Structure 1
């Protein structure tokens, strides 16, 4: 993975006017996106994941606006752009987005092939004949069987998984440098989820784009992410490599997210759930936003917002527990040996797969 930055957000805040009140959806976020990496943004619903990336593409709702900070892509300051016309050449070709529900991304009265081809004509400047050939090729590359024969079919003739593959093909037709995947597997069953994740991973290697993967489920990104940004109440509260977030998490909220992984549920204890609810974003938050839900919270957590503490060159966490004066607190026992648990789980799956006569799973 290359280290040069392709997109940078500095002290970014996004507000919304809602029924005469101001909602602070993103609060002073700074983030550098590196060339050809897979960055996963995780957190509960309402934490600001989608809003953050909409600020990168100028797709905020009409009542939303950037109230502070900047977003820079290549040599362009995206946060200065106001009109749709100014986004030409950036949306799609520079930064493309795959949304959660493929049916809302496809025109139900246009054929599948024509929807891909028109994007090729617009962004690659090809004629109709060339665009059709490229569209069929993209359909094949995204796993559509008999692509040539299915070119003139309509979205309703495709399953949910196949429609999502077409949405990916449409995005790739733009030749984007950054691909934002906004919970693209949530509406799909587990088997299809795995196929779509593997497809995105393979296509990234082939086309060399950078990926932002948005999800509320840490387990979904374990196999594909290079880095993970954990969001809570409009802020990034922990950022690190995939291994650092899974095996050396430092923020109590990250501990809670990991503890709630379905794979860790037991018959005796059931599935862990995070107590309480996130704070209202209509009000100014004093101290650490997670403090009311954090059993390790100290007095300072209710009075002063913690800074981002450096854990390593690649790992940062926004918690007072990392202050040298804080008492030493161990992460919950449930996630103490997370690596060993995953290895054991994969060994079980491998054994079952062999019993079925399937292929072995390689455990790294």
Structure 2
């Protein structure tokens, strides 16, 4: 495979307008080489070919095993069958009331009529509180998790494998402490997703602690950064499209589909890795067994050959074409949870406000690779006045008569 670099996804030029840069790369060089991502696959059809052929394009492409993301069949299916019930319709229905209550609390803490920086005021607290609530983790985990995500992204950006290993070890130790406390509690341990996961079996044996920690790390990595990015992307899009903002207030049943379409236009997740298991031709490229490649969601979901004008917002698109949550056997099992949480926070934000707008002269600032979306989103919000509480029936006044 050709190893001459065509681009650097970490370069300053790429960070200024990453989505626009991926559009240019897709037109100029749909198979692009870089030190960071090896062969990048940018067109929708080529990405779909990779996703739908796991025998040729293996998920075992990372230095660290990720359960079940970096596994192939049949091992992948064994672990996937354990994980999927955590995101089924029953579990989502059970979690929905808590999810909606947390969203209302977060939005009601925003100022009534003022400027905010949405990422720090809402997006990051939202992703941290939702993750801890779903897994049953204490609120004291919010800040350590936020710092951990920052450390992980910095290590990925630098490409320092020692730093990445240290960040992973730091997270693992934190989770082991939580698991130890549940074991010590015995039957008194909280009945939450973490405790239930500790009781799972695979192939007739209990999950090992390393496997439990790995699954929890995988869920957390996939949740925190992308969910915060998603909230920032959607809120800024609505701020620049006031008619859509009002339409969704009037028809909240459309919010879920609108979220998916906005995140197709501006991806919250850049890429995933694969590894060729045999010699194979992919478009103009010839790969050998062991060659690594990356599917670029942020490009494939904007491919003109599939979506026409990639910036056109439409709710009548075929949802199967949207790769927001992947496709094939490795499609994101947590998609139902992500959709529930995003629908709840955006519906709450819209129902509790009468206006969301950008602040003149203060556009959002793009986040840096490997993150997508924005690191800051300055907005002006105008919250609805709280509804007056129904007063108790007035008691008849004592009538005084004057002589």
TM-score (norm 2): 0.26
Larger radius of gyration: 2
TM-score (norm 1): 0.28
Higher helix proportion, which one?
2
Higher strand proportion, which one?
1
Q: Which has the higher contact order (CA 8 A, sep 6+)?
A: 2
